[in-house]
Amino acid sequence: MGSTVTQQIFQQIVNGLSLGSIYALIALGYTMVYGIVKLINFAHGDVMMVGAYSGWFAITALHMPFLPALIFSMLSCALLGVLIERIAYKPLRNATRIAALITAIGVSLFLEYGGMLLVTAQVRTYPPVFPETRYEIYGVIFKYGDIVMLVTSVVLMVLLHITVQYTKMGKAMRAVSFDKDAALLMGINTNNIISFTFAIGSALAAAAGVLMGVYFNTIDPLMGIIPGLKAFVAAVLGGIGIIPGAMVGGLALGLVESIVSGLGASTWRDAVSFLILILVLIIKPSGLFGKNVREKV
């Protein structure tokens, strides 16, 4: 039975939103870290990869069902994120931007190639965690897995929003983002807040990793590179440092990618992301939700 154009469009939208929610989860980590320490954490995509592997380990070796595996993965990557920050980034807090950026890339390479040494470049497969049930509404197919992914992403984003807006920690995070020195003077332990931010960002990336494993079935040590870059584009699109921006940017990018694939130009899919990046930087570098800040002369 053939599907109509409308059905195809809706199918792409569904696919796009699923993919987009994964990008959003990763983008959130980028944006929160940039907001708080003005660092582009190039290693973030690779943290996602570690999350995917942790989840895989939990499911295959520890025989955990989906939800506990997800939590296990999130916790281990939260720890990883804090470790990376303390060891590699903290010493460079007052260094030049280029030094910090290079260090981040160094950590990224370490995770990628260290990972290759550890688990070999061989691709691993996620065992099926969800029933193969499919739902069909007006010819558009929703897999059980799609729905779980979307719901998980949304739940996590809502939890994040609540944490940032309504808890004391969240308020402290926002204060440190705004003005680190002033926050310090107000008695906020900025080091802990920064670690906390890295922990949350990494946990979200881990969740994204597990979801990617479920969605795409296969994982490999270099899987974090391209989604990491794309999530970064999403964060810039929404406005780097701005949390709702990362969510919107992620979803938007997922949709655009889906449409491009749907139009048959999937080899150009990656180029489209970079094109969006360049366009944003040229037209409005502060992103959709961002404000322009002048340098004082």
Partner 1 sequence: MRNLFNRQNIVALLGIVLLYAVVQGLIVSDIMPPFYKLTLIQICIYIILATSLNLINGITGQFSIGHAGFMAIGAYISAIITTILNGPLVLGLLAGAIVAALAGILVGLPTLRLKGDYLAIATLGFGEIVRIIFLNTEYVGGAAGFTLPSKITWTWAFGLMALSVVLMKNFVNSTHGRACISIRENEIAAESMGVNTTKYKVMAFTMGAFFAGLAGGIYANYFYIIQPMTFNFLLSFNILVMIVLGGLGSMTGGIVGAIVMTLASALLAGVPEWRNVITAVLLVIMMIFRPTGIMGTKEFSLNFLGKKSEKNAASKN
Which residues contact partner 1 by CB under 8 A?
38, 40, 88, 91-92, 95-103, 105-110, 112-114, 116-117, 229, 232-233, 236, 267-268, 270-271, 274-275, 277-278, 281-282, 285, 295, 297
**How far apart are CB 48 and partner 1 at their closest, in Å?**
17
CA distances to 63, 89, 117, 273 from 94, in Å:
44, 10, 33, 32
Decide whether 135 or 274 has the Cβ nearer to partner 1.
Answer: 274
For the record, the structure tokens of 200 come out as 């949350």
Q: How far apart are CA 24 and CA 276, in angstroms?
A: 16
> Which CB sits closer to partner 1, 55 or 115?
115
Nearer to partner 1, 68 or 114 (CB): 114
- Exposed, middle or buried: residue 297 (CB in 10 Å: 0-12, 13-18, 19+)? exposed
Query: What are the residues whose beta carbons fall under 8 Å from the beta carbon of 259, sequence distance 6 or more?
Result: 12, 16
Beta bridge partners of 90: none
* Shortest Cβ 23–partner 1 spacing (Å): 16
Query: Please, what is the minimum distance in Å from the beta carbon of residue 14 to partner 1?
Result: 27
Least CB distance to partner 1 at residue 109 (A): 4
Nearer to partner 1, 116 or 259 (CB): 116
The residue among 64 and 223 lying less far from partner 1, judged by its C-beta, is 223
Pick 68 or 91: Cβ nearer partner 1: 91
Q: Which helix (H) or strand (E) holds 259?
A: helix 243-262
Contacts of 172 (CB under 8 A, 6+ apart): 183, 188, 193
At position 48, the amino acid (one-letter code) is M
CB of 288 to partner 1, least distance (A): 15
The residues near 78 (Cβ < 8 Å, ≥ 6 apart) are: 199, 200, 202, 203, 206
CA distance 186 to 101: 29
Least distance in angstroms from the C-beta of 60 to partner 1: 24
CB of 185 vs partner 1, minimal distance in Å: 26
Closest to partner 1 by CB, 14 vs 44, is: 44
CA torsion sign, 157 to 40 to 168 to 175?
negative
CA dist 291 → 160, 222, 246 (Å):
22, 35, 15
- Spatial CA neighbour of 25 closest among 42, 55, 11, 45: 45
Closer residue to partner 1 in complex, CB, 113/178: 113
Nearest distance in Å: CB 86, partner 1: 12
